Structure 1
Amino acid sequence: MAFYRQLGTIPPKRHTQHRAPSGDLYYEELMGEEGFSSDSALLYHRTIPSAVVDATVWELPDQSTTPNHPLKPRHLKLHDLFPGDLPLTTDVVTGRRLILGNADVRISYVVAQQDSPLYRNSVGDEIVYLESGDAVVETVFGPITAREGDYVLIPRATTHRWLPKGTKALRAYAIEANSHIVPPKRYLSRFGQLLEHAPYCERDLHGPGELMLAEGSDVEVLVKHRGSRGIVGTRFVYADHPFDVVGWDGYVYPWALNIADFEPITGR
């Protein structure tokens, strides 16, 4: 769930010509939920966003789980997973350790100080909770500044990367869904507005405030997707940098919500 937003330059009507001052056409990309039958966003690129130069296998970290049967209580000592200087060589994407999972969701933990590669989850939405540390999340929609206590929602198929900031390691929980992550229906009006009794509202959601216009060729992006043996990965090389969007609008985009802004019905 998010409200309508617009950033950069867009044409007056959808699916019409949008040209640069030089006369060159911008390339339209539609990112939608449930195909074309639900919320979506239209992005306008300077270059063709689907121009793939190469594709190779990306071997994902271990995705296997152990059934908790018979059911036993578990004490997960997550801080012990990244001892000593290990975070210095770890990033938020490739360094995730899967700790819990089922058919609907997977929860990982990571402690990182390295910049992540460009990454896209094509399986479902992600929410990354920052236990501690600060970061900039660069996305195809623009950058988001994330801080301790933030829940950062990344819609499915959003190309992005994590850049930890400061000297403090970034400690994060990554919640990867097999579909979309939305508020409970009881918080929403029938048109999608957060109601008065919801513990947060649209004012608390912080999305990109500016665009990113990066240059580059033969740019590598790690993509997580479904395969014949479950969730697998592909390493794509694109002809041009995906962060070349001159404008976008719609209801699908990344945003952050800080836990300090999540308030009970009783108020402050």
Structure 2
Amino acid sequence: MSQKQTPLFPLRQGRHTRQAHVDLPEGTFEEEHARQGFFGRTTHLYRLHPVTDWTRIEGPLRPHSYDLNGLKPSAEEAIRASMSGSTEAAFAPIRLLYNQDVALHWVAPSAMDFFYRNADGDDVYYIHTGAGKLETTFGVLHYATGDYLVIPRGTTYRFLPAAGDQRYLLIESFSEVTIPDRNQLGPNAIFDPAMVDTPELEAYDATPREWAVHIKREHAITKVYYPFNPLDVVGWKGDLTVWRINVKDIRPVLSARYHLPPSAHSTFIAQNFVICSFLPRPFEEEEGAMRVPFFHSNIDYDEVLFYSAGHFFSRDGIGAGMMTWHPQGIHHGPHPKAIPLSRTKDRTDEVAVMVDTYRPLKATPAAELMENKNYWASWK
């Protein structure tokens, strides 16, 4: 028995545009109804009203917004709410959103006199504010604002931050983190692998004293003590290591004639989620082409956006250090002022990190402490 074949060309009804995101019929608003995070089957709907022009929302699917600027490890109630087995305050990630595949944390480390090892998953840090030195099993990396630090599961490491404010977004993956296949774009697109930095071995502190490693496994901390520095590595070879890339070294894929979907900005992938980077880039040049994110329904993915720097033209009331979460099943898209404002500018200067998750996320009480409960009404 043969399976039904997907049509090569889409079916059409009523008023629509010939090219998605270009020359919308007058008085209509385009909605992308797509599977598999813009990779699967897709239908574009042309509506007479924005799908976010709601009057009220009752239930758990309302959009969420969090201001993380006031969330610090010294907020003891936040730590207790987000961690079952805490390490010392010098390094106390505050868990915000999580599911079986990924957890998002807010970290504000000070100088650590102990080492840390995550036995649950890979750690991807985005340095929102701050700089310093990262000591690892594989050597030392110096980091700064805008860096991504990718640390494989089981790596022993510690942060030695420089003076000043330190705020990091930690994306903890329970599967291996890698980079997406660039396919026909070629291996050097988005960022050339030669831009990646890896640790360099340096002389380590050999002071004879008791050294501690805090190991996280299933959200509990085990502390192991040694009479020597556990980073006593004098050489290594292989293809598994810590690595770093800065957002300034990532070159977004562009189209002057067509607004690309968020998937075009994928930076890292793992099982059941993807990390994307939205970076400064020119707006679409051709008249009639959309310049702002199109309305869409999260059919298969929860969408989280962390706003790090610049002007976030598609969102009202959003500033650096804030995060939004749009659950599966409810629409979202640009705020009402965003579409006309986009026509007055030549480029965007925003820096933002997006995490799209296949499984629904849950919020911790620590996140709820920072929530703007009226965010759902910001599209009015």
TM-score, normalised to structure 2, is 0.45
* Alignment check: 8 A CA contact 2:115 2:214 kept: yes
Of residues 195-204 and 70-79 in structure 1, the stretch that sits farther from structure 2 once superposed is 195-204
Measured in 2, the distance between the counterparts of 1:158 and 1:83 equals 23
Of 182, 198, 220 in structure 2, the residue corresponding to residue 187 of structure 1 is 182
Give the AA of the match of 1:80.
Answer: G
Q: Hey, what does 1:79 align to over in structure 2?
A: 69
Stretches of structure 1 that go unaligned for 5 or more consecutive residues are 1-68
Cα deviation, 1:81-110, whole Å, max 9, x if unaligned, reads: 129999xx953x32x111110000111012
Q: Hey, what does 1:62 align to over in structure 2?
A: none
Give the AA of the match of 1:131.
Answer: H
Measured in 1, the distance between the counterparts of 2:108 and 2:63 equals 25
Stretches of structure 2 that go unaligned for 5 or more consecutive residues are 1-58, 77-87, 256-280, 282-380
SS at match of 1:251: coil
Cα deviation, 1:28-87, whole Å, max 9, x if unaligned, reads: xxxxxxxxxxxxxxxxxxxxxxxxxxxxxxxxxxxxxxxxx622211111112129999x
* Post-superposition offset of 1:220: 0.8
Measured in 1, the distance between the counterparts of 2:94 and 2:113 equals 15
Higher-strand-fraction structure: 1
* Alignment check: 8 A CA contact 1:110 1:173 kept: yes
Which stretches of structure 1, 4 residues or more, deviate above 4 A after TM superposition?
83-86
* Post-superposition offset of 1:160: 0.5
Root-mean-square deviation (CA, aligned residues, Å) is 2.7
* Alignment check: 8 A CA contact 1:110 1:172 kept: yes
**Identical positions, percent:** 31
* Alignment check: 8 A CA contact 1:199 1:264 kept: yes
Of residues 146-155 and 72-81 in structure 1, the stretch that sits farther from structure 2 once superposed is 72-81
Residues 1:225 and 2:217 are matched in the alignment: yes
TM-score, normalised to structure 1, is 0.62
* Alignment check: 8 A CA contact 2:73 2:94 kept: no
SS at match of 1:120: strand
Larger radius of gyration: 2
Residues 1:210 and 2:201 are matched in the alignment: yes
* Alignment check: 8 A CA contact 2:123 2:172 kept: yes
* Post-superposition offset of 1:196: 3.6
Give the AA of the match of 2:131.
Answer: D
From the superposition, tell whether residues 129 and 116 of structure 1 become closer, same or farther in structure 2 (CA, over 3 Å).
Answer: farther
Paired residues for 1:29-48 under 5 Å: none
* Alignment check: 8 A CA contact 1:116 1:162 kept: no
Measured in 1, the distance between the counterparts of 2:148 and 2:189 equals 17
Measured in 2, the distance between the counterparts of 1:232 and 1:84 equals 20
Higher relative contact order (CA 8 A, sep 6+): 1
